[in-house]
C-alpha cells in the first residue's frame, strides 16, 4: 500500500496541525503494540466506550511514528507529530478504507450471516486459490474495525477478494458495504437466536441484506422469509435440501467420518464427498459449491476440490512446549497478512529472549517471490527473530534473505533433523500453510499431557477489564488481583495482558506468586496481600510491596529494612473494618501511627480494607458501615502523618454495587474472569475459561446394568455411556456427579451418571450423535461456572481455583 497523505486527508475530511502534509503512508495501524509501526505508519487513535488509544500516542512518537488521526491533539504533544483531527476516528478509518477500495476493480465475494462466515471464507480461499491471487480478511476480521483493516491490505496484484462482514446492531452494515463493495454475495444463514441489537428477525434480515445492495448475484439457502426482503433487481442463486424449486437441490447421507451430498443442478446430478458429518459443514460446503458453479467451474474440479475441505482453526494458540519452550500454533495458514498478525502476537509473549519462527512457503501474496520474501525478511528483522527455519522449496530458495536461516525442502526432512535443532527455552511460532501439515511439527514440539485443557480467551479478559474500567471515575486507579494463579487461569499471561492495558497495580496473595511474575518480566507494581515474615528479604529483593496488617509484621519488616538500609520502601497498611481477617483494628491505630512517625525506612503507598459482603444487594447496611469506618480510620492515619496515599476498599462486586466507594483505587478480581453475582451484569461480561476434554470411550449398556463405583447409576433403558478423562483430582467436585451435573457433547447436554472418579467421569450420551475422540465441554458458556457453583452450593471462586495444575492452560486470542 502506498497513499499520499494529501489524498488521505481529503478522504477522511481531517483538519491538520501542519500547513502542508506531504509524503506517503505505507501502513495503517490501530495497535500500539505492532512492530510494524514506523515513520510511514498512519496511526488511527480509536476510542471505544471503554478504551482510548490516545494514551499510546506518546509511546508511539518515541518509536518513530509521525502521523496520527485523532479526535483531539494531546496538549503536550502538539508540535511533536503530525495530527489529523476528525470527529470520529473510526469513521475516518472506514472512510479511508472505502477510498482505498475504490482504487481497485476486481471481483469481490462478500459474506455475511449469523454463522459460518469465517469457514466459508477460508474454504473459498482454499477452493479458488489455484486460479486467483486472493486477498481475504485475515482470521475473523469482520467488524467495523476488522473490515477496513482487511481491505487496506489489497495490493495491485490481487485479482479476487473474499471478505466477511459481521454486525451486531442496525446502521453498521451500510459502512461495511461501502468498504467491501462485493460483486458476489453469500448469505450463510440468519440465526433465530434473539440478538440484542435488532428489534426482531425482519429487522435483522433487512440489515444484513444491506451488504448486497450492489451485487451481481446473491447466493443463499432458499428461504421465503428472507427472499421477501430482497430487492427484485438482485439476482439470487439458491440451494435447498427440501425445496425443489431452489436452483440447486441436495440430500445428505452421513457415514462414520464423512458425508455424501447428492446434488442436482440444471437437471444434472452429481455426488460430492465432504470429510464432515454435521449439517453446518454441509451447508457451508453448499455455499462454496454454488460460488464455484456461478464462477463456471467444471463439476469434476468442484468434486475434487471440495473433497479436500478441512476443519478451520482460526485462533492463535499458545501451548506449552518441550524443554521449557512456548509454542504459538498457527499451523493452518500462511499468507502475508496473517504472518504479520502472528508476529505481533509473538512480540507480546516475553517469556523467552530467544524466538524462533518455523515458516513454510507463502502462497497468494499477490507479490513476486523476490518482493514477498524481501518483505518477510524485513518483518523478521523488525520482530527480532533469533532464528528462522524455512520449510518448502520456494522459501528455501530465498533463505539468503534471512538472518541465521536453516532450511528444509519438506516437513519430512525437518522431522528427520528434529533432534539436531535443539529446541529449548525459546518461543516458537509455527506458521505454515495446510499442505505442509505443520500439525506434525506442533505435535513433536508440544509437551504431552492428557487431553483435558482449560482454554483461556484473552479477548474476553480485555473485554471484561474494559467493562469494569467503564464503571470507574477516570481518576480511579485499578489494581487487578491475580492471586491463586490468576483465579486458576494462569497468572503470567494475564499479567502481561494487564500490563498492556496500563492498569496501575497487580495484587497477589503470597510472595512466591509475585516473584514468579517478576521472573517472567512483569514490572508493574505488585502488592502482596499476605506476606509471611520469612519472605520479607525476597519481597525486597524483587521489589514487591507488602501489605502490613499488624504491629508484629510492621516491626519485623522495619528490622529488615534497617539492615538493608532501605529508604521509603513502599508498603500498604490494611485496616480491619469488619471482615475480621487481617488488618489493624481501630484501637491499634495510635500505636501504628506512633511507630510510623518515627521512621523513614518505609513509605505508605496505600491504605486499604476489605468488604465482607459487597455482593449483598438486599441489605447494604453492613457494607456502608465498613465504607464509612474505612473513610474515617484511614483519614486518622493520613492526617496524623500528613501523607496522601492511595485509599482503596472495593473488590469486583464493590465496584458494581457501591460506586461511591471507589476512593482512589479499586481491586478487581473475579469480574475479570467473567463472573458476577448479578445476572444483568453477567450478560455484559464474556466467558473467559472453557474446560474441555474428549470422549475416551463409548459403550452401550442394557437396562439394569450399572455405571461406576458402588454402582450408583442403574440404567432404566438402553444407555450410551461416554467416559471422559477428567475427575475430582482435576478439580471437578464429586457433588457434581450422580445426575446433578452435566457436560456438553456436540452442543447437547449429557448428564453425568454415577459418581465422579478420581481421573474420570461418565456421562449419558444416549440422545447424542457422537464418536470416541469428540470434544466434551465441562464448563464455559454452558454450563457456566456460576451455574455449577449454585448447583453444588459453593461459589464460582472455588470452582475456578480448584482446577488442578495438571490441567494444561491454553491461551488464545480470536
Ligand atoms: C481477592 C481479593 C480481592 C478481589 O475480590 P473479587 O471478589 O474477586 O473481586 C480484593 N481484595 C482483596 C483483599 C482480596 O483478597
Separation of CA 529 and ligand 1 centre (Å): 10
Q: Which of 139, 210, 483, 605 is catalytic?
A: 483
Burial class (CB within 10 angstroms; exposed 0-12, middle 13-18, buried 19+) of 450: middle
Asked if 263 and 398 sit in the same domain, the reply is no
Looking at the chain, the whole-number percentage of residues with pLDDT higher than 90 is 76
Asked if 141 and 261 sit in the same domain, the reply is yes
Q: How many domains does the chain have?
A: 5
**Which numbered atom of ligand 1 lies nearest the CA of 487?**
8
Before 783, cis peptide (omega within 30)?
Answer: yes
Q: Residue 709 has what DSSP assignment?
A: G
Grid cell of 684 as nine digits: 455484559
Asked if 493 and 638 sit in the same domain, the reply is yes
Separation of CA 79 and ligand 1 centre (Å): 44
Looking at the chain, the whole-number percentage of residues with pLDDT higher than 70 is 99
Q: Please check whether residue 311 lies inside any domain of the structure.
A: no
**Residue from 507, 658, 800 to probe ligand 1 pocket by mutation (most atoms less than 8 Å from CB):** 507
Catalytic residue flag (residue 483): yes
d(CA 299, CA 440): 33
Q: Please check whether residue 99 lies inside any domain of the structure.
A: no
> What confidence score (pLDDT) does residue 252 get?
94
Which residues, other chains included, contact 693 with Cβ-Cβ below 8 Å and sequence gap of 6+? 451, 452, 453, 724, 725, 726, 775, 776, 778
Q: What is the mean pLDDT of residues 651-658?
A: 96
Q: What is the mean pLDDT of residues 275-301?
A: 94
3-state SS, residue 363: coil
Which residues, other chains included, contact 60 with Cβ-Cβ below 8 Å and sequence gap of 6+? 32, 37, 43, 68
Q: Is the pLDDT of residue 448 over 90?
A: no
Binding-site residues from annotation: 581, 758
Binned at pLDDT 50, 70 and 90, residue 450 comes out as low
Q: Which of 44, 67, 90 lies at the terminal end of a domain, its last residue?
A: 90
Asked if 671 and 588 sit in the same domain, the reply is yes
529 touches ligand 1 (CB under 6 Å)? yes
If one compares 686 and 33, the residue with the highest pLDDT of the two is: 686
610 touches ligand 1 (CB under 6 Å)? yes
Separation of CA 650 and ligand 1 centre (Å): 8
**Which numbered atom of ligand 1 lies nearest the CA of 668?**
9
Q: What is the mean pLDDT of residues 295-318?
A: 89
Asked if 709 and 577 sit in the same domain, the reply is no
Q: Is the pLDDT of residue 84 over 90?
A: yes
Q: Which CATH number goes with the domain that contains 641?
A: 3.20.20.10
Q: Please check whether residue 312 lies inside any domain of the structure.
A: no
d(CA 737, CA 456): 25
Q: Which CATH number goes with the domain that contains 355?
A: 3.90.190.20
Asked if 483 and 414 sit in the same domain, the reply is no
> What confidence score (pLDDT) does residue 773 get?
83
Cβ contact 188:286 at 8 Å:
no
pLDDT digits (tens, 9 = 90+) for 379-404: 898 888 999 999 999 999 998 888 77
Mean pLDDT of the chain: 93
Q: Which CATH number goes with the domain that contains 84?
A: 3.40.1390.10
Catalytic residue flag (residue 781): no
Q: Which of 448, 470, 497 lies at the terminal end of a domain, its last residue?
A: 448
pLDDT digits (tens, 9 = 90+) for 174-226: 999 999 999 999 999 887 665 678 888 889 999 999 999 999 999 999 999 99
Least Cα distance to 778 among 656, 669, 691, 659 occurs for 691
Lowest-confidence pick of 167-171, 351-355, 425-429, 810-814:
810-814
Q: What is the mean pLDDT of residues 423-452?
A: 87
Asked if 193 and 214 sit in the same domain, the reply is yes
Pairing state between β 748-753 and 761-764: antiparallel
Cβ contact 577:603 at 8 Å:
no
Question: What are the backbone dihedrals phi and psi of residue 233, each rounded to the nearest 5 degrees, phi first?
Answer: -75, -10
pLDDT digits (tens, 9 = 90+) for 659-704: 999 999 999 999 999 999 898 999 999 999 999 999 999 999 999 9
* Residue 573: domain span: 458-680
Cβ contact 794:733 at 8 Å:
yes
Alpha carbon 493 to chain centroid, angstroms: 12
Alpha carbon 194 to chain centroid, angstroms: 24
Q: Which of 31, 59, 90 lies at the terminal end of a domain, its last residue?
A: 90
Q: Is the pLDDT of residue 609 over 80?
A: yes
Residue 78 vs residues 75, 179, 283, 712: alpha-carbon distances, Å: 6, 32, 54, 73
Least Cα distance to 25 among 121, 114, 118, 96 occurs for 96
Q: Please check whether residue 337 lies inside any domain of the structure.
A: yes
Q: Is the pLDDT of residue 350 over 80?
A: no
Alpha carbon 736 to chain centroid, angstroms: 29
> What confidence score (pLDDT) does residue 256 get?
79
Q: Please check whether residue 97 lies inside any domain of the structure.
A: no
Beta bridge partners of 469: none
If one compares 195 and 6, the residue with the highest pLDDT of the two is: 6
Asked if 54 and 179 sit in the same domain, the reply is no
Asked if 783 and 643 sit in the same domain, the reply is no
Q: Please check whether residue 63 lies inside any domain of the structure.
A: yes
pLDDT digits (tens, 9 = 90+) for 751-783: 999 999 999 999 999 999 888 888 999 999 999
3-state SS, residue 511: helix
Grid cell of 399 as nine digits: 533463505
3-state SS, residue 519: helix
**Residue from 581, 626, 650, 651 to probe ligand 1 pocket by mutation (most atoms less than 8 Å from CB):** 651
**Residue from 464, 506, 667 to probe ligand 1 pocket by mutation (most atoms less than 8 Å from CB):** 667
d(CA 596, CA 583): 16
Pairing state between β 405-408 and 387-391: parallel
Binned at pLDDT 50, 70 and 90, residue 304 comes out as very high
| Residue listed under C-alpha cell 491461551 | 811
Asked if 347 and 205 sit in the same domain, the reply is no
Q: Please check whether residue 69 lies inside any domain of the structure.
A: yes
Separation of CA 669 and ligand 1 centre (Å): 5
Which residue CA neighbors atom 13 of ligand 1 most closely?
A: 610
Q: Of how many residues is the chain composed?
A: 814
If one compares 156 and 289, the residue with the highest pLDDT of the two is: 289
Q: Which CATH number goes with the domain that contains 111?
A: 3.40.1190.10
Asked if 133 and 216 sit in the same domain, the reply is yes
> What confidence score (pLDDT) does residue 621 get?
97
Asked if 705 and 789 sit in the same domain, the reply is yes
Question: What are the backbone dihedrals phi and psi of residue 83, each rounded to the nearest 5 degrees, phi first?
Answer: -115, 135
Separation of CA 509 and ligand 1 centre (Å): 10
652 touches ligand 1 (CB under 6 Å)? yes
Q: Is the pLDDT of residue 349 over 80?
A: no
pLDDT digits (tens, 9 = 90+) for 534-588: 999 999 999 999 999 999 999 999 999 999 999 999 999 999 999 999 999 999 9
Q: Please check whether residue 31 lies inside any domain of the structure.
A: yes
Amino acid at each position: 500500500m502506498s497513499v499520499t497523505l494529501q489524498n488521505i486527508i481529503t478522504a477522511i475530511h481531517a483538519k491538520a496541525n501542519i500547513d502542508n502534509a506531504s509524503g506517503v503512508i505505507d501502513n495503517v495501524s490501530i495497535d500500539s503494540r505492532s512492530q510494524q509501526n514506523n515513520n510511514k505508519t498512519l496511526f488511527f487513535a480509536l476510542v471505544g466506550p471503554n478504551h482510548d488509544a490516545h494514551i499510546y500516542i506518546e509511546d508511539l512518537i518515541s518509536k518513530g511514528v509521525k502521523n496520527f488521526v485523532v479526535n483531539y491533539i494531546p496538549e503536550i504533544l502538539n508540535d511533536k507529530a503530525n495530527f489529523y483531527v476528525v470527529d470520529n476516528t473510526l469513521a475516518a478509518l472506514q472512510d479511508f478504507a472505502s477510498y482505498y477500495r475504490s482504487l481497485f476493480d476486481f471481483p469481490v465475494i462478500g459474506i455475511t450471516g449469523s454463522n459460518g462466515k469465517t469457514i466459508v471464507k477460508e474454504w473459498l480461499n482454499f477452493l479458488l486459490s489455484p486460479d486467483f491471487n486472493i486477498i481475504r480478511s485475515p482470521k475473523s476480521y469482520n467488524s467495523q474495525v476488522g473490515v477496513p483493516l482487511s481491505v487496506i491490505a489489497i495490493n495491485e496484484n490481487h485479482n479476487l477478494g473474499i471478505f466477511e462482514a459481521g454486525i451486531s446492531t442496525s446502521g453498521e452494515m451500510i459502512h461495511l458495504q461501502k468498504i467491501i463493495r462485493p460483486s458476489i454475495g453469500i448469505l450463510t444463514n440468519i440465526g433465530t437466536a434473539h440478538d440484542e441489537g435488532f428489534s426482531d428477525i425482519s429487522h435483522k434480515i433487512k440489515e444484513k441484506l444491506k451488504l448486497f445492495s450492489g451485487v451481481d448475484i446473491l447466493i443463499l439457502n432458499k428461504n421465503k422469509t428472507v427472499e421477501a426482503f430482497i430487492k427484485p433487481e438482485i439476482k439470487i442463486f439458491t440451494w435447498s435440501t427440501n425445496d425443489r424449486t431452489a436452483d440447486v437441490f441436495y440430500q445428505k447421507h452421513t457415514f462414520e467420518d464423512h458425508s455424501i451430498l447428492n446434488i442436482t443442478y440444471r437437471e444434472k446430478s452429481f455426488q460430492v464427498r465432504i470429510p464432515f458429518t454435521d449439517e453446518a459443514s454441509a451447508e457451508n460446503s453448499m455455499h462454496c459449491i454454488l460460488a464455484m458453479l456461478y464462477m463456471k467451474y467444471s463439476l469434476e474440479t468442484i468434486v475434487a476440490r471440495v473433497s479436500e475441505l478441512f476443519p478451520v482453526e482460526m485462533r492463535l494458540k499458545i501451548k506449552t512446549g518441550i524443554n521449557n519452550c512456548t509454542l504459538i500454533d498457527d499451523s493452518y495458514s500462511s499468507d502475508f497478512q496473517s504472518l504479520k498478525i502472528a508476529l505481533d502476537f509473538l512480540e507480546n509473549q516475553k517469556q523467552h529472549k530467544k524466538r524462533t519462527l518455523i515458516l513454510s512457503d507463502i502462497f497468494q501474496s499477490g507479490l513476486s517471490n523476490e518482493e514477498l520474501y524481501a518483505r518477510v525478511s524485513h518483518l523478521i528483522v523488525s520482530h527480532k527473530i533469533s532464528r528462522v527455519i524455512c520449510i518448502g522449496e520456494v522459501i528455501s530458495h530465498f533463505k539468503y534473505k534471512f538472518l541465521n536461516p536453516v532450511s528444509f525442502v519438506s516437513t519430512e526432512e525437518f522431522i528427520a533433523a528434529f533432534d539436531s535443532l535443539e529446541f529449548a527455552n525459546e518461543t516458537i511460532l509455527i506458521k505454515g500453510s495446510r499442505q505442509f501439515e505443520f500439525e506434525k511439527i506442533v505435535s513433536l514440539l508440544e509437551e504431552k499431557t492428557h487431553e483435558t485443557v482449560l482454554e483461556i480467551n484473552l479477548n474476553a479478559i480485555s473485554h471484561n477489564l474494559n467493562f469494569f474500567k467503564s464503571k470507574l471515575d477516570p481518576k480511579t486507579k485499578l489494581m487487578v488481583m491475580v492471586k491463586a494463579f490468576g483465579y486458576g487461569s494462569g497468572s503470567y499471561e494475564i499479567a502481561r495482558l494487564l500490563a498492556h492495558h496500563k492498569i496501575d497495580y497487580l495484587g497477589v496473595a503470597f510472595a512466591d506468586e509475585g516473584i514468579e511474575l517478576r521472573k517472567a518480566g512483569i514490572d508493574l507494581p505488585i502488592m502482596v496481600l499476605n506476606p509471611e515474615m520469612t519472605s520479607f528479604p525476597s519481597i525486597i529483593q524483587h521489589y514487591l510491596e507488602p501489605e502490613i496488617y499488624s504491629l508484629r509484621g510492621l516491626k519485623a519488616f522495619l528490622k529488615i529494612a534497617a539492615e538493608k538500609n532501605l529508604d521509603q520502601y513502599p508498603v500498604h497498611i490494611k485496616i480491619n473494618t469488619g471482615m475480621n481477617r487481617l488488618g489493624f483494628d481501630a484501637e491499634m491505630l495510635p500505636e501504628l501511627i506512633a511507630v510510623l512517625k518515627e521512621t523513614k525506612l518505609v513509605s505508605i503507598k496505600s491504605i486499604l480494607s476489605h468488604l465482607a459482603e459487597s455482593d449483598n444487594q438486599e441489605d447494604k447496611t453492613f457494607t456502608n458501615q465498613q465504607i464509612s469506618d474505612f473513610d474515617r480510620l484511614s483519614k486518622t492515619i493520613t492526617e496524623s502523618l500528613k501523607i496522601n496515599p492511595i485509599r482503596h476498599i472495593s473488590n469486583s462486586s464493590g465496584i458494581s454495587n457501591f460506586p461511591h466507594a471507589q476512593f482512589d483505587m479499586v481491586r478487581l478480581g473475579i469480574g475479570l474472569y467473567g463472573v458476577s453475582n448479578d445476572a444483568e451484569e453477567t450478560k455484559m461480561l464474556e466467558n473467559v475459561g472453557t474446560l474441555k476434554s474428549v470422549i475416551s470411550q463409548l459403550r452401550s449398556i442394557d437396562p439394569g446394568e450399572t455405571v461406576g463405583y458402588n454402582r450408583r447409576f442403574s440404567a432404566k433403558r438402553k444407555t450410551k455411556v461416554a467416559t471422559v478423562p477428567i475427575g475430582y483430582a482435576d478439580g471437578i467436585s464429586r457433588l457434581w456427579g450422580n445426575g446433578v451435573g452435566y457436560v456438553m457433547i456436540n452442543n447437547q447436554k449429557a448428564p453425568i451418571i454415577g459418581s465422579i472418579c478420581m481421573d474420570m467421569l461418565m456421562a449419558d450420551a444416549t440422545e447424542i450423535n457422537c464418536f470416541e475422540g469428540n470434544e466434551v465441554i465441562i464448563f464455559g458458556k454452558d454450563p457456566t461456572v456460576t451455574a455449577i457453583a449454585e448447583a453444588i452450593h459453593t461459589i464460582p471462586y472455588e470452582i475456578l481455583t480448584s482446577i488442578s495444575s495438571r490441567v494444561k492452560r491454553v491461551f488464545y486470542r480470536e
